[in-house]
Amino acid sequence: MIAMELYDACLKCNICELHCPVLRVTPEFPGPKNGGPGYERMKAAGKPVDTTGLDLCCGCRTCEVVCPSGLSPVDLIAEHRAEKVREQGGLSFRDNFMCHQDRLVPMASAMPGLVNSMMSAGWVRSIMDATTKVDRRRPMPKYQPGTFRAWFARRENPWKAQPAPNGQVAYFHGCSGQNQEMEMAKAAVLVLEHNGFEVVLPEQECCGVPLMANGALDEFKQRAAANVARLLPYAQKGMPIIFTSTSCSLNVKYEYPKVLGTDEAQLVADHCYDISEFLMMLHAEGKLKTDFHPVEEELPYHQPCHQRAQGIGIPAVRLVQLIPGVKAWNLDAGCCGIAGTYGFKKEKYDISMAVGSEMRDAILATKAQRVICDCETCRWQIEHLTGRTAVHPIRVLAEAYGLV
Amino acid sequence: MKRRSYTYDVVVIGGGLSGIAAAESARSRGARVALLTDGGSMLELASGCIDLMGADCSGKLVEKPWDAIDALAQEDPQHPYALVGADRVRLAMAAFQGMAAEAGISFKVDGNQANQWIVTALGHLKPTYLVQEGIGMPQKGRPVRVIGFRGMREFHPGVFAEGLRKALPDTQVTAEWVELPPHPLAPKDLTPMQVARLLDDGVYRERVTSLLKPAEPAPALVLFPAVLGLSRAAEVRAEFSRAVGAPVGEVPLLAPSLPGLRLSQVLHRYLENHGVDVYSTCRVEGAEAADGRVSAVYGEAAGRKLEFRAKAFVLATGGLLGKGLVVEGKGLKEPIFDLPVEAPQDGADHWASKEMMPTGGHAFVRCGIRTDDQLRPEGWANLHVSGRMLAGCDPYAAYCGGGVAVATGWRAGQLAGGAEE
């Protein structure tokens, strides 16, 4: 399902190795060149390959971004890992649990206080650490009372009486938007409505990025098909589908058409936008409202790897730069290291922290109290590594509009 | 598939040295610029020093590159430098140095504007013009001490010293290995990248510097392979220099090259911080054009179709190595605009010499796109071509690749950004 025959284009120029954030901190990882096209060549020659260590790929797609030969070593590695998971008869208990955290939300959002205090209690984390190998040092994202969808359903649609001047957009809030990052999701709705859009919420499941990252490619494919079926009616109506998590959007835009290979998946992908990307395109048409209150703030931007892999520039920075008084720039300090579920795992926590050290130093070298970043797990890692606050750029926009 | 459309004043295709120069020159004229890149560029594989003109048309080494460039107007009026004009080449090189300095990397220029000599990993001398800070330049008769890191295959101090002794007779060259202290990240087989990353780490660096001792009598220069840090190169050099009690210089290695990567990284960051939108992973596949005017180029990034509309376009996608030109059948093709590629007539003998390094170079190296003095291929009004893709020069024989990339990129960006039509 992922093009494997291209491996022979690898020149062994080593640019991917030079940029790989994991290889920078551990020699246990065979690296994108060896682990991707290198192993493919061995297999094609009928030689046995040792896939130990491939698990350490964090799936950041940097190797794909930098490859001058147009290869995706990361996809080749993902295939090798998926084969391993299939051979083992599926995911481990821990990985399976981590891939299905969305199922916890109904329970956790009903009693967030209890769940959060359990998840931060030393003894609970020691047990989890010892039994399930979820690293005790990694703080868990805090659950909020209620859900974003419930909030959305309760509120009055501002475009109820008259049609929204710019039409409707569908919003894919993702797992974190539904609960832990609910305030960000609310801000996204308010900003879109402020700009004359009516927001509708398609039924949706987790985009499946943890499944992809953990090598459960077969289940990922099912997940992709389910989401495509749900988003398809919106795409067929020509409605933009807006994302506030760059990993969700990368998946739906890029991975779904790749793994499903259907016209439907491509049609859905063609309608997907990251919210900053969408608002900057609106701005290019002269349609974005710029009634911002001036804000004197330095806002360094951490570019999520899955945002960079989309090849859309840095619209988040350009967007907040429209706010008078804001000084925003791309830190350009590499991968934060968390890579979704990766940084929660006991065997990978130290790697995750080491990978993020460059970003940590770059942030701590600024005076900024807040960092902007459009990926939730990157934001959690930023806060964990630096003690500074990390917010989605849409939050800054909502503040400058005076909406929150 | 639906195309997502972006509009700019100038779109530069290619993120290597020439594309960077073009983007900066268009931007500095006030244009809104998009830079489209597809993966790492050849700049990341290059020495990080900028050659200008190391040999003339006959293949003879030249001391004064500007004299050779001035002479091109008469001797080779189709050479990219001649098309740009020697005065503009000067301006472009100065502007490039200014940009790099602001971005954080300075270059050494010879006081008499002569070529300078850097050393290859085999100890051979190579002429260049702008020498990136930190790159070592041994002088004849002045003792050199060479230190390699054991376990890193890319640089053997003994082989290097042997070469350098031949290149600089009567120069004392001593070679030694240093054993890097054990580190969980340092397996037996070290790559330059691993060493550079390790040396970026201050704690590890201290352990290395404690192994470096001054030599008696003190040499004029201590050379290391160019792996002295990626993001903290200046600190690494300063601390090493203190430890060995002499000036420290780096020797550029084979690809991928740390000095090239350092330069590429700071320049891309500089452009982004100055408002250029960099679209990485964007593979341009074709163009929309009528009556010699390009209205848009389109391509693919992360599985989606994109189009970029602009008033003017710069094509800086490189030569055969950078894939700006590709081999098709028995000829060469420029895949985006299908521009005619100037190439020798059929037959291997016409394309390449039987010698490996012939005087004057191989014919195929001079293949590329012919343009007018505004770097436009014939029949095109708002498309400017720059860099390695241009026909009529041989950077391997004449040591002019970097300068041609900078000068033509600068000129192309200037024209695309609204200078004389």
| Mean pLDDT across chain B | 93
- Taking the C-alpha atoms of residue B118 and residue B271, their distance in angstroms, rounded to an integer, is 28
Interface membership of B253 toward A (CB under 8 Å): no
Tell me the one-letter amino acid at A155.
R
Over range A254-262, report the average pLDDT: 94
Number of helices and strands in chain B (H, E): 12, 19
Adjacent-strand bridge partners of B119: B125
Mean pLDDT is lowest, of A220-229, B77-86, B326-335, for B326-335
- Classify A253 as helix, strand or coil: helix
Complex ipTM value: 0.88
Strands B125-128, B312-315: pairing kind = unpaired
**pLDDT class for B291, splitting at 50, 70, 90?**
very high
Interchain CB contact of B303 with A (< 8 Å): yes
Higher pLDDT, B201 or B107: B107
Please tell me whether residue A219 adopts helix, strand or coil conformation: helix
Residue B210 CA to residue B227 CA, distance in Å, equals 18
User: Considering only CA atoms, which of A99, A240, A100 is closest in space to residue A167?
Assistant: A240
Measured between alpha carbons, how far is B73 from A399 in angstroms, rounded to an integer? 60
What percent of chain B clears pLDDT 90, i.e. is strictly above it? Answer: 76
Q: Which residues contact B385 (CB under 8 A, 6 or more apart)?
A: B314, B315, B316, B339, B369, B371, B375, B376, B377, B408, B412
pLDDT in the model for residue A5? 57
pLDDT (0 to 100) of residue B352: 87
Q: CB A194: neighbour CB atoms within 10 A?
A: 17
Q: With an 8 Å Cβ cutoff, are B303 and A269 in contact?
A: yes
Give me the mean pLDDT over the A316-336 stretch.
96
Contact present, A368 and A299 (Cβ < 8 Å)? yes
**CA A82, A83, A86: angle at the middle one, nearest 5?**
85
Pairing of the two strands B221-225 and B144-149: parallel
B78, pLDDT greater than 80: yes
Q: Identify which of B374, B369, B354, B367 has the alpha carbon closest to the alpha carbon of residue B396.
A: B367
What local confidence, expressed as pLDDT, does residue B316 receive? Answer: 98
Give residue A98's pLDDT: 87
Backbone angles phi, psi at A23, to 5 degrees: -60, -25
Grade residue A25 by pLDDT with cuts at 50, 70 and 90: confident
Verify cis geometry, omega within 30 degrees of 0, for the bond prior to B252: no
Partners of A242 in the beta sheet? A171, A273
Q: How confident is the model at residue A2 (pLDDT cuts 50, 70, 90)?
A: very low
Lowest mean pLDDT among A389-393, B1-5, B207-211, B300-304: B1-5
- pLDDT band at residue B187, thresholds of 50, 70 and 90? low
CA distances from A331 to A366, B7, B16, B273 (A): 10, 26, 21, 10
**Amino acid sitting at position A173:** H
Number of A:B CB contacts under 8 A? 105
Structure tokens at A392: 């989605």
pLDDT band at B58 (very low <50, low <70, confident <90, very high): confident
pLDDT for residue A1? 38
DSSP A23: T
DSSP secondary-structure letter at A342? G
User: Does B257 contact chain A (CB < 8 Å)?
Assistant: no
| Residue type (1 letter), A74 | V
* B273: nearest CA partner in chain A: A329
Minimum-distance CB partner of B301 among A284, A310, A314 = A310
A313 closest CB neighbour out of B255, B269, B278: B278
